[in-house]
Amino acid sequence: DAKTTQPNSMESNEEEPVHLPCNHSTISGTDYIHWYRQLPSQGPEYVIHGLTSNVNNRMASLAIAEDRKSSTLILHRATLRDAAVYYCILRTNAGKSTFGDGTTLTVKP
Amino acid sequence: SQTIHQWPATLVQPVGSPLSLECTVEGTSNPNLYWYRQAAGRGLQLLFYSVGIGQISSEVPQNLSASRPQDRQFILSSKKLLLSDSGFYLCARQAGRANEQFFGPGTRLTVL
């Protein structure tokens, strides 16, 4: 499975934008880029996904580099409830994925 | 509905005892189902996945096994638990054109 690389941790102030980066240099043409987040003692929650174009939904935006070797999850206004571990993964048609250790986002009031 | 049920929510078992964790899903039929394990402070490790009744693929060799006796039921088992089996066990289903995954609430297993 193609691998992703994320920073271990990031900090943000409340109500400021947050940009969470992810590198996936070995991505193949059919891999979707997915983002999930996990609150303590809960299962991961789907956030957003994309293939080539930038994507927006009610939770976040996903900016995908033109060569698709990196992407950035954007939280436009961080809230305390956005504090979580964020996972960037690649989803193949086979449906198997590798979840790395993710980025732990701390939001300061 | 994408609801996924897991039980029990928490479990404390002695080393060497058997294990059975159950996952059931609601919604469309013949979903792809997954078992993950998460150690404290770490990411998710894929253990098993299933594309249909009786079809199980193992990702990591270990003393765990999985079964899918019914379309919407996925069971994780062990004959003899090890200390290293402690962790947070998550069941997930796949849905959507981009193979999004939806996770259950998890089972916290502590092996003493």
pLDDT tens-place string over residues B10-53: 999 999 999 999 999 998 788 899 999 999 888 899 999 999 99
- The residue ranking higher by pLDDT, A92 or B73, is B73
Q: Is the pLDDT at A50 greater than 80, yes or no?
A: yes
Q: Which of B32, B98, B105 sits opposite A32 (nearest CB)?
A: B98
Among B90, B100, B107, B108, pick the best mutation site for testing chain A contact (most A Cβ within 10 A).
B100
For chain B, the average pLDDT equals 91
Q: Which residue has the higher pLDDT, B56 or A99?
A: B56
Q: Quote the minimal CA–CA distance from A28 to chain B in Å.
A: 14
CA distance A45 to B21: 21
Averaged pLDDT, A36-54: 93
Cα(A22)–Cα(A52) distance, rounded to whole angstroms? Answer: 15
- Interface contact A96-B46, CB threshold 8 A: yes
Task: Report pLDDT for B95.
Answer: 81
Return d(Cα A53, Cα A39) in angstroms, integer: 28
Count A/B contacts: CB-CB distance under 8 Å: 57
pLDDT for the residue A94: 63
Confidence of residue A10 (pLDDT cuts 50, 70, 90): very high
Nearest-angstrom CA–CA distance, A34 and A70: 12
Hey, which residues does A77 pair with through a beta bridge? none
User: At residue A87, what are phi and psi to the nearest 5 degrees?
Assistant: -110, 130
Selected residue of A93, A99, A103 to mutate for chain B interface (largest B Cβ count, 10 A): A99
Q: Report the alpha-carbon distance of residue A73 to residue A63 in Å, rounded.
A: 7
Helix (H, G, I), strand (E, B) or coil at B13: strand
